[in-house]
Amino acid sequence: MSPASKKLEKGKKLGKYRLLHRIGSGTFGEVWKARDLVEGIFVALKIPHKDWTTREHRKIFQDEVKLVAGLDHHNILKIKNADVIDGRFVIVTECGSEALSDRTHRAKSTRFVVSVIGQILSALAYAHRHKVLHRDIKPENVILFEDKTARLTDFGIAKIAERTMVKGEGTGTIGYMAPEQAYGVTTFASDVFSLGILFYELLTGKLPPWPFEWPYPSHAKLRKKIPRSLIYFIKKTTTFNPVRRYHNAIVMEQAWHKALRQWQSFLRGRIKKPRKIKRLHWRDYKVQTFMRQYHSKLRLDYMCRKCEQPISEFMSVCPWCGDTGNEFGKITTFPSHCDRCGHGTYHDWRFCPWCYRERFRKISPIPSKDKRYTEHCTNPRCRKPMMLFMRYCPYCHKKVVRPWHHPSLPDNCPSCRWSVAKDYWDYCAWCGSSLIRK
């Protein structure tokens, strides 16, 4: 009997791995939780079925390894190793605490659902930027970790999209599969549909019926849990016609962040029935004027957790109330984030440019590319690219001594000399000094 034909059982060894228990199984194979007897850590092993050992079948797994190896994102499950062990092609990944499918029929807070969807959307947008279609988004393919991180996995049927459309067999999972995908035509909007369906299911506990006519049967549940902005978000993502959806996860993510602004107000009970006459406080007029002038220039896409006024993820301090506790870890536009200050980071950065912390342990050799790289480190031995308002060089850790100047901000902070807007702000967004004129 060949090693590959032996039955997988609890307690048996597969190379240096001890099988503990089966996590799940699918069309291609089984997933086992195992212990690495050399490193002493828990891992997940993706192992093909006995009849998936031919060269043609093995290529499917090899393609998945190559594809995922090129995706470097905090919310995409990383492959630790891939090798032929005892005649079987085995993919070794990090081991989470459970799959999202294990939580589907258990009580879930709306905050938890929003956090998970936001993280998976970030991963999907990253994949779409790299022209990768996932094609099988469902609860089983989302792994949850103890630190509340969610990671997207199982790119086994994913495809590199050379165009905006991929033709082939109707791959995917019934219930989450987009209508056009069932007929063999997959677009980026198909992934958008699947993620929208997943969002709806996590909130209501049910899948919407074919042919996805709005409003869905559990619409009343949605209205109790989330604001109109997120209800519209679900409606647009799960529209039957792919042309009417968000074209890809990149556009979907932008709409998501806009909807979250109203969501944050909704959580604090600030959304009330509209009045016939709505009088704005003078401060609201000031904020609205500032937003019209500076929103796109400063990327003011977030809200302060304390005063709920617009801020940028580059800001260390809220310029409206002076709060220093805003974190962007779950909603950052960067692929990862610093676990100390919560600001976004790239995987090739050696240090956090926003706070003074020790060197990152894992550093990617692939240099990051970003349009926001407009400056360079002044260290002659470094000269690596930097972004405006970084406090330290992310590569050599040199502290920024020169004052940062933004062409759109007319004033300078009297303390740090960085650009500010004294006519609008009460505090410097970079050092926290008061800007109120005495």
Same domain, 187 and 216: yes
The CATH code of the domain that includes 121 is 1.10.510.10
Q: Are 341 and 354 in contact (CB under 8 A)?
A: yes
Q: 55 with 186, same domain?
A: no
In a shared domain, residues 111 and 181: yes
pLDDT at 342 over 70: yes
Place of tokens 């092609």: 89
pLDDT of residue 157: 53
With a cut of 80, say whether residue 64 has pLDDT above it: no
Mean pLDDT highest for which of 69-73, 172-176, 301-305? 69-73
Predicted local distance difference test score (pLDDT) of residue 37: 93
42 in the same domain as 144: no
pLDDT digits over 95-134, tens only?
A: 999 999 988 777 788 889 998 999 999 999 999 998 888 8
Percent of the chain with pLDDT over 70: 86
Do 121 and 257 lie in one domain? The reply is yes
Please indicate, yes or no, if residue 47 is contained in any of the structural domains: yes
In a domain, 373, yes or no: no
For residue 255, the Cα-to-chain-centroid distance in whole angstroms is: 14
- pLDDT grade for 433, boundaries at 50, 70 and 90: very high
**8 A C-beta contact, residue 193 and residue 178:** yes
In a domain, 328, yes or no: no
Q: Both tokens of residue 30?
A: 């089984």
Does residue 75 sit in the same domain as residue 222?
A: no
- Per-residue model confidence (pLDDT) at position 168: 44
Residue 372 lies inside a defined structural domain of this protein: no
In 130-214, alpha helices (H): 179-182, 188-204
| Whether 84 and 114 share a structural domain | no
The encoded tokens of residue 277 equal: 């006459």
Residues 75 and 166 in one domain: no
- pLDDT per residue as tens digits for the range 39-54: 999 999 988 877 666 6
Confidence of residue 390 (pLDDT cuts 50, 70, 90): very high
Of 88 and 198, the structure prediction assigns the larger pLDDT to 198
Highest mean pLDDT among 61-70, 86-95, 133-142: 133-142
Give the pLDDT score at 238: 94
What does the pLDDT look like over 144-190, one tens digit per residue? Answer: 998 888 999 887 554 544 434 444 444 557 889 899 888 888 899 99
pLDDT for the residue numbered 338: 87
Cβ distance 259 to 281 under 8 Å? no
Q: What is the structure's pLDDT at 67?
A: 80
Top-confidence residue, 59 or 428: 428
- 300 pLDDT exceeds 80? yes
Q: Of 30-39, 155-164, 219-228, 256-265, give the range with the top mean pLDDT.
A: 30-39
Q: Does 337 map to a domain? A: no
**Is residue 10 over pLDDT 60?**
yes
Cβ neighbours of residue 180 closer than 8 Å, sequence gap 6 or more: 186, 187, 190, 242
Distance CA 342, CA 326 (A): 8
Pick from 6-10, 222-226, 279-283, 296-300: least confident:
279-283
Same domain, residue pair 56 and 8: yes
Same domain, 32 and 140: no
Report if residue 360 sits inside a domain.
no
Confidence (pLDDT) at 286: 80
Please tell me the predicted confidence (pLDDT) of residue 166.
44
Determine the 3-state secondary structure of 201 from DSSP: helix
| pLDDT confidence of residue 163 | 39
Q: Is the pLDDT confidence value at 336 over 90?
A: no
How far from the centroid of its chain's Cα atoms is residue 116's Cα?
Answer: 8
- Sign of torsion over alpha carbons 273, 278, 279, 285: positive
pLDDT at 74: 86
**Cα gap 429→327, rounded to integer Å:** 14
In the predicted structure, residue 383 carries a pLDDT above the cut 70? yes
- Which of 36-40, 192-196, 359-363 has the weakest average pLDDT? 359-363
Q: Final residue of a domain: which of 49, 70, 94?
A: 94
pLDDT in tens, 231-243: 999 999 999 999 9
Among 75, 94, 113, the domain boundary falls at: 94
Residue 114 located in a structural domain: yes
Give percent of the chain above pLDDT 90.
Answer: 36
For range 415-420, the mean pLDDT: 93
Question: Do residues 145 and 211 share a domain?
Answer: yes
One domain, residues 87 and 137: no
Q: What is the structure's pLDDT at 52?
A: 63
Asked if pLDDT for residue 328 goes beyond 50, the answer is yes
Per-residue pLDDT, averaged over 373-400, amounts to 94
Domain membership of residue 273 (yes or no) is no
* Least confident piece of the model among 82-96, 284-298, 405-419: 284-298
CATH number at residue 22: 3.30.200.20
Number of separate domains in the chain:
2
Domain that holds residue 39: 3-94
Tell which of 42, 60, 94 closes a domain.
Answer: 94
* Alpha helical stretches, state H, 146-281: 179-182, 188-204, 219-225, 228-237, 249-267
